[in-house]
């Protein structure tokens, strides 16, 4: 783990900025990629959102007050970017959010970067039926194995509320998978 405080300092100074930013991207690119990918599902869209996330981080680092961890701040930017991207997409296509989710999952079957079997595809269909918050919590807890305390800082929700959301999400996904 990199020492966060010194990295932030380096990011704010012009002469060390470029090198520090490279370290930042290399440290967080994979984690943020998978976080975004599980929201937008498609690789090319993920790439766009991920690059925009890092550019926002770069442009706004001077405004980062250090009230939360750098890592949570970046996750928050990535989450917002991904959700805004989906909103814009549904507006452009003139369809509602649930319709968009269905479309995204059905596109997975033809996606060269999705190699899931029948069960994994069904799991994506089940996740697509969850409300936004439950979906985020499920992905962060189940796939990324994040601690509730970390998710709480990113999503600005109490640990108790997150546990309830996760529990509900797992129950819904399981009953969807059992349902045939």
Partner 1 sequence: MNKKNNKEGFNTPEGYFEDFSDRLMDRISNSESDQKETLLPKSDGFRVPDGYFDSLNQGIQDKINKDTPKVIALHRRRKFYYYAAAAVAAIVLLTIGIRTNSSVEPTFEGLAKTEIEEYFEYNDLGLSTYEIAEVIPVDELEISDIMDDEIEEENIIDYLDDSIENIDELNLTDYEY
Say whether residue 67 binds partner 1 (CB under 8 A). no
- From the list 166, 163, 169, 146, the residue with the least C-alpha distance to 31 is 146
Say whether residue 156 binds partner 1 (CB under 8 A). no
Nearer to partner 1, 34 or 71 (CB): 34
Q: Six-digit token pair at 17?
A: 């900025």
Alpha-carbon span 70 to 25, nearest angstrom = 12
Long-range contacts of 1-4 (CB under 8 A, 24+ apart): 2/27, 4/69, 4/70, 4/71
SS3 of residue 91 by DSSP: helix
Say whether residue 123 binds partner 1 (CB under 8 A). yes
Closest distance between partner 1 and the C-beta of residue 84, in Å? 7
Classify the C-alpha dihedral 122-128-134-137 as positive or negative: positive
Only segment of 61-69, 109-117, 147-155, 156-164 that touches partner 1 (CB under 8 A): 109-117
Closest distance between partner 1 and the C-beta of residue 57, in Å? 10
Q: Which of 4, 5, 99, 174 binds partner 1 (CB under 8 A)?
A: 174
Say whether residue 84 binds partner 1 (CB under 8 A). yes
Say whether residue 154 binds partner 1 (CB under 8 A). no
DSSP annotation of 13 reads S
Directed axis angle between helix 14-40 and helix 43-60, to 10°? 150
Give me the residues that bind partner 1 (CB under 8 A), please: 22, 25-26, 29-30, 33-34, 37-38, 41, 43, 47, 50-51, 54-55, 58, 84, 87, 113-117, 119-121, 123-124, 142-143, 170, 173-174, 177-178
């Amino acid at each position: 783990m990199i020492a966060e405080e010194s990295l932030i300092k380096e990011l704010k100074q012009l002469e060390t900025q470029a090198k520090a930013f490279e370290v930042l991207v290399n440290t967080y690119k994979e984690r943020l990629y998978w976080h975004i990918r599980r929201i937008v599902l498609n690789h090319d869209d993920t790439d766009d959102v991920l690059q925009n996330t890092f550019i926002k981080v770069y442009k706004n680092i001077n405004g980062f007050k250090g009230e939360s961890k750098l890592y949570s701040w970046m996750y928050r930017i990535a989450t917002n970017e991904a959700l805004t991207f989906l909103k814009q997409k549904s507006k452009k296509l003139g369809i509602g959010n649930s319709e968009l989710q269905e479309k995204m999952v059905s596109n997975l079957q033809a996606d060269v970067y999705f190699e899931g079997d029948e069960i994994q595809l069904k799991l994506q269909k089940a996740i697509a039926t969850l409300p936004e918050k439950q979906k985020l919590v499920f992905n962060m807890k189940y796939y990324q194995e994040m601690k509730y305390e970390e998710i709480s800082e990113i999503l600005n929700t109490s640990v108790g509320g997150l546990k309830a959301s996760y529990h509900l999400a797992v129950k819904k996904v399981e009953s969807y998978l059992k349902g045939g």
